[in-house]
């Protein structure tokens, strides 16, 4: 049931808690980024081993792609979660908490 123009439709779950959870996930991922970069660098080094068989280079390239792509997909997933939060819901919930009111459960 649509609300008035500019009105945020109430939700039954905490948009703020979902947003904060994504903040925490992003923080944890930021800690892992140096390890991901190091793993990719090691694979790149391995791919430069003299006389490396083509089939081995292909497999190493696939592992490198997997690491990079899957890490990027996690970030894409987090962004999708953020975009699914109704616009303005996080701010409205923060404002409600500051005013000491509770979130609508309807």
Q: Which residue has the tokens 């490198």?
A: 64
Q: What is the DSSP letter of 102?
A: P
**Model pLDDT for residues 63-104, shown as the tens digit of each residue:** 999 999 999 999 999 999 999 999 999 998 999 888 875 555
- Of residues 98 and 3, the one with the higher pLDDT is 98
Q: Which residue has the tokens 């039954």?
A: 12
Mean pLDDT of 27-33: 96
Q: Which residue has the tokens 């939700």?
A: 11
Q: Is the pTM of this model over 0.85?
A: no
């Amino acid at each position: 049931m649509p609300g008035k123009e500019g009105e945020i439709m109430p939700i039954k779950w905490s948009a703020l808690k979902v947003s904060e959870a994504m903040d925490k996930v992003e923080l944890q991922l930021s800690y892992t980024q140096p390890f991901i970069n190091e793993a990719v660098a090691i694979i790149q080094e391995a791919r430069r081993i003299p006389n490396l068989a083509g089939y081995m280079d292909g497999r190493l390239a696939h592992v490198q792609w997997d690491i990079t792509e899957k890490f990027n997909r996690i970030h894409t997933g987090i962004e999708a979660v953020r975009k699914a939060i109704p616009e303005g819901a996080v701010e409205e919930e923060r404002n409600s908490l500051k005013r000491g009111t509770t979130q609508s459960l309807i």
